[in-house]
Chains A and B, each alone.
Chain A
Amino acid sequence: MIEIVSATRCIECDICVKVCPANVFDATKDGAPVIARQEDCQTCFLCEIYCPTDALYVAEVAEGPTGISEAEVEARHLFGGYARALGWKRGKAGGSEFDPTHRIRVAQ
């Protein structure tokens, strides 16, 4: 589930508010978006890759929050981890041309 909007990383562009398919965030007047409907999160990690500053963290448990702290996410270099694995950068798509899934299908 979505757990962290890092106020130090966030540039308040509100992209996450727009792109979250489950409408989990609310924009605020003078700051970072807030997680308004956490329970609705489908743990798809897509807000993370659309965020231009890797300010969001979605924990791996889909049933409920884990309570992980921003300090731990920062210390373990988890911010932006999924975007890096895909090849997306600063909220922009990239890397699908290097997808080796065809090799997996052959092995299958």
Chain B
Amino acid sequence: MPKTATAVRSAPEGLHLAADVLVLGGGPSAAWGAVAAAESGATVVLADKGYLGTSGATAPSNTGTWCVPPGDNRHTVVERRWQRTGELADQRWMLRCVDTAYRNLLKLSEWGYPFPSEDDERLYIANLRGPDYMRFMRRRVLLAGVTVLDHHPALELLSDGDAVVGAAGVGRQVEHDWRVDAKAVVLATGGCAFRERILGSAGLTGDGYLMAAEAGATLSGMEFTGKYTLAPHGSSLNKGLPFRWASFHREDGSAILGPTGEPLRNGIGDREEEVARALIEGPVYARLDQAEPALQGWLRQGQPNCFVPYDRAGIDPFSDLFRITLRAEGTVRGTGGIDIVSDDCATGVPGLYVAGDAASREIMTGAVSGGGAVNSSWALASGWWAGKGASTHARRRGGKAFRNEVRPLGQAGLRPAASPRADIAATEIIEAVRDEVTPLDKNFFRSGAGLEKSGERLESVWRDVRDHLQGEGLERIRTREAASIAAAGRWSVAAALHRSESRGMHRRTDLPGKKLSLAHRLVINGVDDFRIAGASERLAELAS
């Protein structure tokens, strides 16, 4: 029998549990973290804002993994991928990641996850269909004896002065507060999608970044939020794959041309740039007319959600022109997040571990997007390491009681610095941030002058949040989300201004080209009064 968490106190005052490890989140990295910690003998509570099985970016999608079998070829594959990362990734981490991710993919197949087969009957384990995968992972988490709290968003971390010793939040369906005392906490709260209407985005408001920064953790890669993905106009389907076989047209019917002057026939990867330029000028239409009939069938069957918008709108995307858009993806397909300081995914704050999109993926994918393969393998691997790391920390901490004084760390959106004001509302805050960090002409293509202006506006938004934004009861979820979005936007714009060059998805129109002096990561420390610094030394230390 697996050990389970103990109840300290229960309703009506709220829910109060004690466990060795608390995992925050309900996506793949949280699920793998919870299973890894439970397998090492820890009692584990997993608290998710949504429902473990449907929430997060993976559940509604169909994720390709970075699946590199062991063998000599591995180093070559990693080296080749590293070439594309704008020199910011770390091959040692990339190798570790493919190794652990591969083992966990094999574990999935041993556990009976229904993978498809290739023509030679071998299982194809390099793709995980989101709804099936996450439903399967929920069962594994429950089988491991983890106490799962669905619809229990965390609002803040708890500290005893030395270490993070748990978290507190609110059960949004049961409408009571909760608190979990834990010897270690894994933040697996995903990225920040800045409230863009993309798949999985509802819960992805960057709460983990703010919670970690309040506890003293460092962020990195926050300037790399310039990734956008094509979607049918007005839809949530930010999946680029079908647009690999498309043509693109302006309102007047003229074709959008690629860099060589030929009509564009593939709109993904670097070619998003031509589409973005056209979209700034006016509406853009596409047709998936480069897909052969066999491929059309595979696309329909393999990526069924991509076709839901067309089918429901009565469009045949292979023969009809339809309007498209580029959806901003913040740090979800960007790379920024909480910086990792050691192999067990520790954050440098005792007791606090991080996994998946909540972590900076700069060590894995540098200045380019990890969407499409790297990110899901990273969730598989980092979740595992963080779960193990947290349970080891919990064991070391042993029976040591928490210091008497357990203090909640939440500030912005929970405990304003000045008097709360009713006219400062979460929705307006989020809109104001979106105005700076999602428009193509501000954030896909960036400029020093534009970033300065955005920075000033975000500073003023942040002052309102810090000083006056507050909610009561369930409203705290929204005020805290708004505070997290405002913090993430502000860090992102400041880091983008600091990086006075172009690299990967950070495109400065005023400063094209990379600078040798900036071939290092940028780390951010602090919430209200934060500092940005180069991380060259720490990177060397990590690599040694």
Contacts and interface: CB of A to CB of B under 8 A. Distances in A.
A and B from one assembly?
yes
Contacts of B298: 100-101, 103-104, 107
B303 A101 contact: yes
A49 interface: yes
Contacts of A62: 197, 234-236
A42 B199 CA distance: 6
A102 B202 contact: no
A22 B193 CA distance: 14
Contact of A101 (B199, B302, B307, B313): B302
Nearest to B232: A60
A4 interface: no
Interface in A1-44: 17-23, 40-44
Interface in B120-151: 124, 126-127, 129, 131-133, 135-136, 150-151
Nearest to B231: A62
A23 B127 contact: no
B131 A21 contact: no
Interface residues of A, number: 41
A18 B135 CA distance: 13
Interface residues of B, number: 61
B395 interface: no
B54 A46 contact: yes
A101 to B, nearest CB: 4
A63 B197 contact: yes
A106 to B, nearest CB: 10
Contact of A98 (B64, B116, B311): B116
B75 interface: no
A63 B327 CA distance: 12
Contacts of A61: 234-235
A42 B59 CA distance: 12
B280 interface: no
Interface in B79-118: 113-118
B236 A18 contact: no
Contacts of A104: 241, 295, 298-299, 302-303
Interface in B320-365: none
A44 B132 contact: no
Contacts of B135: 93
A11 to B, nearest CB: 20
Nearest to B62: A101
Contact of A108 (B115, B118, B236, B244): B244
Given A44-B59, A102-B124, A103-B302, A20 B51 contact: yes
Contact of B307 (A85, A88, A96, A98): A85
Given A21-B51, A101-B298, A43 B151 contact: no
A67 B59 CA distance: 27
B312 A78 contact: yes
Nearest to B302: A101
B6 interface: no
Contact of A44 (B199, B244, B297, B307): B199
B448 interface: no
Nearest to A82: B308
B492 interface: no
Contacts of A40: 202
A23 B171 CA distance: 11
Given A96-B132, A100-B302, A103-B298, A23 B197 contact: no
Contacts of A78: 311-312
A54 to B, nearest CB: 14
Contacts of B132: 86, 93, 95-96
A104 to B, nearest CB: 5
B197 A102 contact: no
Contacts of A100: 116, 297-298, 301-302
Given A81-B308, A100-B298, A21 B62 contact: no
Contacts of B113: 96
Contacts of A81: 308, 311-312
A83 to B, nearest CB: 10
Contacts of B117: 97
Contacts of A18: 51, 150
A105 B115 contact: no
A102 B241 contact: no
Given A42-B200, A97-B116, A102 B127 contact: yes
Contacts of A82: 304-305, 308
Nearest to B327: A62
B116 A102 contact: yes
Contacts of A88: 131
A95 to B, nearest CB: 8
B230 to A, nearest CB: 14
Contacts of A102: 116, 118, 124, 126-127
Given A42-B202, A78-B312, A97 B64 contact: no
A20 to B, nearest CB: 7
B116 A96 contact: yes
A50 B54 contact: yes
B538 to A, nearest CB: 36
Given A44-B199, A104-B298, A60 B127 contact: no
Nearest to A40: B202
Contact of A107 (B60, B129, B234, B295): B295
The 3 closest A-B pairs by CB, nearest first: A21-B50, A21-B55, A85-B304
